[in-house]
Structures are given as C-alpha cells and as structure tokens.
Amino acid sequence: MITQNIASGVSCIYRQRCSIKDDEYLMQLEGDDVAVEEPLQISLQWFDPALNDVCHREWSLTMRTPGNDIALVRGLLLTQQVITCLDDVDSITVFDSEQRHSHNHLLVSLKKGIEPDWELLARSYVSQSSCGICGMTSMRSLCLKRPVSIDEAAGWLAPEAVLQMPQQLRNQQQLFARTGAVHGAGFWSGEGVVQIAEDVGRHNALDKLIGQIYDQDLWQPQSVLVLSGRVSFELVQKAMLASIPVIVAVGAPSTLAVDMAKQFNMTLIGFTKARQFNVYHGHWRLALDAER
C-alpha cells in the first residue's frame, strides 16, 4: 500500500522491521516515509531559420523527486548551456495525464533566435556520475529489452548474515577508507561478501561489480547485492537485470525502487544496522527460524 504526497516528495508505505530481542528475530509491520522518485522527460522546441519551421526534439530524461520541476529544468538549461539566461526561454509547458508517471514531461519552448547546440549537449550530457540514466532522452529507454529470471526460493537468507553485510562491505572498501568519497557495491553468495567495487558514481560501482561477477563466474541464483548508500530505481533495475534476487542497503530506498522490487518479486532491505533492518518487500526469503 502506497499513499503518495507529490507536493512534499514523500510517500508513506508499509514495511516490516526485523530486529533482535531476547536473542530472537522479531518482524513488525510499520509505516515509513520514503522519498518519491519518478522520471522527468524534458523536450525542447525552437524555431529553425534554415527550415523556416518550429522543431521539436526530446532532450533528456532524469530521475528526480517531484516538486519544483520548473526550477529544476531552468537550472539544467543554464548549467548544460542550452541557454545563457532565463530570458532565452519563451515557456515551459507541463504535460499531464491521469496515468501515474506519464505526467512527468516538460516541453521547453525557446525564444526565436535561440537554438540548441546539439553537438555540445551530446558531449556534456552523455552521463553523470550520480545518475546512470541521465543521458537517456526518452522514458521509452526505461523499458526492458530482454526477459529476466529471478530465483524464487524461500527461507535461505539468515537475518544474522544480513546484519553483517554492511560491515563486510566496508572492511573491503580500500578506496573509501583513503578518500571517504566513493560508493561501494558488494556481492554476497553464502560465504560472505566475496567481491566489491567502488566508484564516485553509485551506478558505476554497481556496473563494475556486475562485470566482475560475470567475468569471474561468481554469480549464484541465491545471492545478495550489498550497497553502501541509498537505493534508487536504477540500482534495483541493474540488480534485476543481473538476476540478483536480494538487495541489502545501508540507506533507504525510493518509491520507484520499492515499486520495481515488488514488480519483479525481489527482496529489498534498507536501513541495515547492527541489530535491525527494514524489509520493504520479499520477507519470505528470510530464514527467521535460523539459529543465532
């Protein structure tokens, strides 16, 4: 159940908290505030004197928390050098519909005499270190192009193992230990965290990890992705495409991350601490009767 409040960028969901009390694992259903994450598609419209006509083109797709979208687009236009001042913009139009997510589309109409430099935009906006999909231009790019297989086995993941995963990841993060400026992703396969990767971009760290897993033939159907920070839609999508059924994170998930975990029946765990963690979906993979 999700009750959404777009204006505040917060969604209230119900998840289960797994905690230790008197040497037993307890599961409690509780409400929780989760940050809203949705895609925003931005298109540009301008007058081309060579064609003597108005042109329209999809420019960018970015993930954001809804709210102040007009300000977000204005900032992007300035920082990506589409415009030199706000007076270069004639209007910003919001496309809306009753379908969820489909209203997230803004059309920017540039004033006559202002034309996008597409060569510059292609160079400057191919990828951002914090967002693996920001270089995409259309929501259609988010669609899956191949079927995926997620292991459905139940009762194989001991809560005690979950509680230990963040520290196992941290112990192997040599770059973070020296700089404090990188994200970490780890792969757990029953014998602890057996492989990790680090990068200034969380999506880059995960891509590196997935490449290592398959290159070294480490993948197993009952495995866990361990993340050093929060969980966004793109990270769940990458784990799903790599057929990793469980995500354990130090931070919280976004609404879209929870949605995707539910859609593909993945186990999503966040706010993992020394004696407790939150299960946003897929608690049935946990072996709650496991001995401590």
Strands 89-95 and 105-110: antiparallel
Using the structure block, give the residue that is written with the tokens 């007076």: 87
What is the C-alpha to C-alpha distance for residues 203 and 201, in angstroms, rounded to an integer? 5
Helices (H), 61-185: 69-79, 118-124, 159-171, 174-179
Provide long-range contacts, Cβ within 8 A and 24+ apart, for 124-130. Answer: 124/80, 124/81, 125/60, 125/80, 128/201, 129/199, 129/200, 129/201, 129/204, 130/201, 130/202, 130/203
What is the C-alpha to C-alpha distance for residues 164 and 188, in angstroms, rounded to an integer? 11
Percent of the chain with pLDDT over 70: 85
Rounded average pLDDT over 6-27: 84
Q: Where do the domains of the chain lie, and which CATH numbers do they carry?
A: 38-142 (no CATH), 151-285 (3.40.140.10)
Express each pLDDT in 119-153 by its tens digit: 877 765 543 435 555 555 555 555 566 678 899 99
What torsion do the CA atoms of 168, 231, 71, 111 make, to the nearest 10 degrees? 110
Q: Which of 12, 55, 85, 131 is catalytic?
A: 131
Residues 6+ apart with CB under 8 A from 169: 184, 185, 186, 193, 196, 226, 228
131 is catalytic: yes
Express each pLDDT in 230-239 by its tens digit: 999 999 999 9
**Average pLDDT value over all residues in the chain:** 87
- Tokens for 245, please give them: 């059924």
What is the C-alpha to C-alpha distance for residues 286 and 212, in angstroms, rounded to an integer? 26
What is the C-alpha to C-alpha distance for residues 188 and 226, in angstroms, rounded to an integer? 7
Report the pLDDT value the prediction gives residue 142, as an integer from 0 to 100. 58
> CB–CB of 28/279 below 8 Å?
no
Express each pLDDT in 178-229 by its tens digit: 999 999 999 999 999 999 999 999 998 999 999 999 999 999 999 999 999 9
pLDDT reading at 277 higher than 90: yes
Which is higher by pLDDT, 204 or 157? 157
pTM, to two decimals? 0.81
